């Protein structure tokens, strides 16, 4: 025997069916969102470091200085780093660099006092006589990191093709990332007549004679990277022709 429902029962049944339908539609959506958050939390540390990490701000400087003299373009003498750090925990923290060779190296430790937690503090680090002709990709101190992969890494010279140059002749050398940033040669040399690719540099010499420094620089406004090659080559004067008598 069928029971005839009144208006209030019909209205209640309609609301219940809508609630069940909306719940079925919402549960898969929530599940998908939670899955995305879980995957993102796994991938983020791989791409950029620990969640909640502090990334470097402006005021950073890295200088690579090479051994003075001709033929020393692969003899890296020192690396100086002035880094604007912000670290969120007190205590002793390892200072780790990751190089372009992919290997992490511990270059020391720092002590963060309670009063210095979450403060921007410029800290200086030196590496004397590095084992290889390296470039730094990342600097990690506790939760702080300076990631140079995103902004580019200053180039390097691998081979000077000429060491003694006459005025009007070309200086040339091979290397890596030579098309990035600026390349300056000391002694009043103009940079307008440079020919640059990623792996080779050529420039005509017209300045004053003497030994010349080559400086590679890459600056994104936050981090300045410089590679200095002192007395990398010598510019000679014009050689007069001897008169035949």
Q: What is the pLDDT of residues 198-233, one digit of tens each?
A: 999 999 998 889 999 999 999 999 999 999 999 999
pLDDT for res 150:
84
Beta carbons within 8 Å of 135's beta carbon, 6+ residues apart: 64, 99, 100, 153, 154, 156
147, 174, 196 — which closes off a domain?
147
Of 86, 111, 101, the C-alpha closest to 138 is 101
Structural domain contains residue 171 = yes
Greater model confidence, 150 or 139: 139
The residue among 94, 118, 147 that closes a domain is 147
pLDDT by residue (tens digit) across 122-146? 999 999 999 899 999 999 999 999 9
The pTM of this model reads 0.75
In a domain? residue 242: no
Give the pLDDT confidence score for residue 112 in this predicted structure.
96
What is the extent of the structural domain holding 20?
9-48
Q: What is the mean pLDDT of the chain?
A: 82
108 and 42 within one domain: no
Q: Is residue 216 part of a domain?
A: yes
What integer pLDDT is reported at residue 103 of this predicted model?
82
pLDDT of 3 over the 80 cut: no
The beta strand positions in the chain, using DSSP E, are 54-55, 60-66, 76-85, 91-99, 104-112, 121-128, 136-141, 144-147, 156-160, 164-166, 170-176, 182-185, 194-196, 200-204, 210-219, 223-236
Question: Residue 2: is its pLDDT beyond 80?
Answer: no
Residues 61 and 87 in one domain: yes
pLDDT of residue 242: 42
More confident residue, 205 or 18: 205
In a domain, 4, yes or no: no
Residues in contact with 78: Cβ distance below 8 Å, sequence separation at least 6, in sequence order: 64, 65, 126, 127, 128, 129, 130
pLDDT band at residue 192 using 50, 70 and 90 as cut-offs: confident
The pLDDT of residue 50: 39
243 domain-assigned: no
Does position 26 have pLDDT exceeding 80, yes or no? no
- Indicate the pLDDT class of residue 111, thresholds 50, 70 and 90: very high
* Interval 32-78: pLDDT, tens: 544 543 443 333 333 444 334 455 578 999 999 999 999 999 999 99
Is pLDDT at 83 greater than 60 in this prediction? yes
End-of-domain residue from the set 120, 147, 174: 147
> Among the ranges 3-17, 168-182, 185-199, which has the highest mean pLDDT value?
168-182
User: Based on the domain organization, do 41 and 70 belong to the same domain?
Assistant: no
């Amino acid at each position: 025997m069928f029971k005839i429902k009144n208006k209030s029962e019909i209205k209640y049944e309609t609301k219940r069916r809508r609630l069940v339908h909306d719940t079925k539609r919402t549960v898969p959506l929530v599940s998908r969102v939670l899955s995305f958050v879980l995957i993102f939390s796994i991938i983020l540390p791989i791409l950029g470091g620990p969640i909640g990490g502090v990334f470097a701000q402006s005021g950073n400087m890295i200088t690579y200085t090479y051994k003075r003299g001709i033929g020393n373009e692969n003899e890296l003498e020192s690396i100086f780093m002035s880094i604007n750090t912000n670290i969120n925990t007190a205590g002793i923290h390892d200072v780790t660099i990751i190089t372009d060779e992919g290997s992490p190296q511990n270059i020391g430790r720092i002590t963060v006092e309670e009063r210095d937690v979450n403060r921007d503090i410029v800290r200086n680090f030196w590496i004397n006589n590095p084992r290889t002709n390296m470039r730094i990709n990342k600097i990690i101190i506790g939760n702080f990191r300076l990631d140079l992969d995103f902004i580019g890494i200053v180039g390097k010279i691998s081979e000077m093709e000429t060491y003694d140059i006459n005025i009007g002749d070309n200086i040339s050398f091979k290397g890596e990332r030579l098309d990035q940033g600026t390349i300056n040669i000391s002694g009043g040399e103009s940079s307008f007549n440079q020919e640059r690719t990623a792996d080779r540099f050529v420039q005509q010499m017209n300045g004053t004679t003497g030994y010349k420094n080559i400086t590679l620089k890459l600056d994104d406004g936050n981090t300045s990277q410089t590679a200095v090659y002192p007395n990398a080559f010598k510019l000679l004067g014009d050689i007069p022709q001897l008169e035949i008598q």
